[in-house]
Structure 1
Amino acid sequence: MASVSVDKIEKSCVEVSQILKALAHPQRLILLSNLLEGPKTVGELVNLCQASQSQISHFLTRMKLEGLVKAEREGRFVLYSVADKRLVRLMKVIQTEYCEHE
């Protein structure tokens, strides 16, 4: 097995802890779960998440700053999507392990 430097492990641990901290809110998890299905507008997320437009916008702004989501303008709409394929995989594991019932 290859040796991994302590600096690299520490850097990875810091990155992972920042991601987990950013995910540590139920509404953020709900937003990301909905974005796994594909890009969505704020209006679509308001309907899906049953939250106010200002709440959704606030969360999306924070999540964008934290690198969880990205925004692309399409005409007069802004479409939000998950920013990192690793986060997509992590969210799918969370859904499989904690959200799907047999």
Structure 2
Amino acid sequence: MTNPKPIRTVRRGRIFPDIQWSEEKKSQWKAQQEAFYQRCKVIFDRVKPELIKTHYNWYMAVEPESGDYFIDTDELTAINKSRQYHPNTPVFIFRINETGIAGTI
């Protein structure tokens, strides 16, 4: 005789309910991300006019602390180039075009 299948309880909700950010921490994180973007955007806007003529729709990884940027046709290759010189620093990815937007939603 076979055993009946146990009734499975579907659990809904957060995976880690103990880890919850307060609204203050969320807004602080968003402000840090926006500040990082603004520092990178200054570098992107400075070099965009020259690069848009020769490297249209390429990707550009910007490291704002040193002001370095790395360009390539592939997004991951540009990130890897930046990690060779700056291994533990975050970068922001731009696409060399009129808008600078690298991804789609």
Give TM-score scaled by structure 1 length.
Answer: 0.36
